[in-house]
Amino acid sequence: MKQITTYTGKRVLVLGLAKSGVNAARLLKKLGAKVTVSDVKPLAENQDARDLQADGFTVITGEQTADLLDPGYDLIVKNPGIFYDVPVVKRALAENIPVIGEMELVGEVADAELIAVTGSNGKTTTTTMIQKMVDHDRKAGHAVYAGNIGIPASKVVQEVTPDDTLVLEVSSFMLVETTEFHPHIAVLTNIFSNHLDYHKTRANYVAAKMKITANQTADDYFVVNFDNPEWQELSKQSAAQVVPFSRLNQSEDGAYEADGELYFKGEHIMAASEIKVPGDHNVENALAAIAVAKIKGVSTQAIVAVLRSFGGVRHRTQYVLEAEGRQYYNDSKATDMEATEMALKGFKAPVVLLAGGLDRGYTFEKMIPSFKDHVKAIILFGQTADLLAETAKQAGVKVIKKTENVETAVPLAYQLSAAGDIILLSPANASWDQYPNFEVRGDRFIKAVEQLTGKQEEV
């Protein structure tokens, strides 16, 4: 970690704890800042806050009102989950107090080379593929991942060395809080219309995503999906060397698929069918990872070894187990329609789909084609159950059932399935109406499958 003096003696307010806030606070203190932390969760129920308090941090819990700023601060470091329209953040911006996020700190102190991955879908799988490829047969140092993948980057960045490569999954929430963040290789997997409750408009959302390349120069690389004209146009905003990837063979200047085979600039890599994780979306993820690996000089042999053995990331079209001819898949990370559509397209066998969750105010008509082509039966839960039921009815799905939650959906899915079917949890919605996060939702699904089948999850 670089020993910078930027924060020495600075009065910093860290808004929001969880993993990123706790580790950002500790990093700032190590850099010489005078740190106060604020979290809405009461102190009696907040182990993170109590731990920081025991270590000498000033801790404030409860509602984050504008008067939090009364003591005076030089900087706000905000948890990405806190909206910009909360009173304390609005006041900070009005008073020209800089508001940044954890990822800005990480970029400033990182000794290791940075590879950053963003996109509406595929970030975690692509990040993991890249890490495994870049780490394969490495002669010096290691490739490690962190960030939105669930591992706090502000902790990992304190441990990596100049010999290492830090592969960061970065969300739009993280990127919007950056000003100088500068990865050597940036990856854009795709852009749809997500998180408009936070960003307000799609233009804001796209602008947040494109901050991943905002500070890159001609010495850097921008790896971008060329299968959509909009994304091709967006690549022109980058000053970096653009390296495209394309499942639809829109460009042969980078990684691409042609006639079921994967290539990089004309060099044959492997057959798409050899990738262990199913679905066209995972072919796209693999192509993005291949592009990065080739930029880094990784051998074709190492790339193939990773893609043939990598069985997927937990909660992301994750193979759980097979019992009585039925294969169970956990895709709890599918918190939007596009992710569920891509998961469905990855299967040729009939699918019994488990879906539903938080109502964000949109309808699901665009899912009719994928329901019609892939879904044998659908089991629905959560706030959007009725909306999804209407969509399934329009798609001609013959069996539509509603149930209480993921746990009760699993035995019902077994009853409605036959040998050879896929039982897929891919909710197309966020989990927050019934579960703390998508991870808990996926874990409950796996536990219910294990209880039903008497078998253990395959890892």
Confidence of residue 194 (pLDDT cuts 50, 70, 90): low
The answer to whether the CB of 234 falls within 8 A of the CB of 206 is yes
Q: Which of 337, 339, 344 is nearest to 376 (CA)?
A: 344
Flag whether 121 is marked binding: yes
The alpha carbon dihedral of 414, 416, 418, 421 has a sign of negative
Across the range 97-114, mean pLDDT stands at: 97
Q: Which pair of structure tokens corresponds to residue 204?
A: 């804001």
Q: What is the DSSP letter of 277?
A: S
Flag whether 123 is marked binding: yes
Q: Given a cut of 90, is residue 281 above it in pLDDT?
A: no
- Beta-carbon neighbour count of residue 408 at 10 Å? 13
The answer to whether the CB of 17 falls within 8 A of the CB of 46 is yes
Alpha-carbon torsion angle 168, 117, 440, 89, nearest 10? 80
d(CA 92, CA 101): 14
Confidence of residue 319 (pLDDT cuts 50, 70, 90): confident
d(CA 296, CA 298): 6
Q: Given a cut of 90, is residue 182 above it in pLDDT?
A: yes
Flag whether 119 is marked binding: yes
d(CA 355, CA 140): 45
Flag whether 6 is marked binding: no
Q: Are strands 11-15 and 34-39 parallel, antiparallel or unpaired?
A: parallel
Q: Given a cut of 70, is residue 324 above it in pLDDT?
A: yes
Question: Phi-psi bin for 78: left (phi > 0), alpha (psi -120 to 50), beta?
Answer: beta
Q: Given a cut of 80, is residue 459 above it in pLDDT?
A: no
DSSP bridge partners of 242 = 222
Flag whether 125 is marked binding: yes
Domains and CATH numbers, the chain: 11-100 (3.40.50.720), 103-309 (3.40.1190.10), 318-453 (3.90.190.20)
Q: What angle do CA 102, 108, 111 make, to 5 degrees?
A: 115
d(CA 231, CA 223): 11
Across the range 183-190, mean pLDDT stands at: 98
d(CA 316, CA 446): 13
Percent of the chain surpassing pLDDT 70: 100
Flag whether 122 is marked binding: yes
The answer to whether the CB of 11 falls within 8 A of the CB of 34 is yes
Confidence of residue 280 (pLDDT cuts 50, 70, 90): confident
The answer to whether the CB of 171 falls within 8 A of the CB of 81 is no
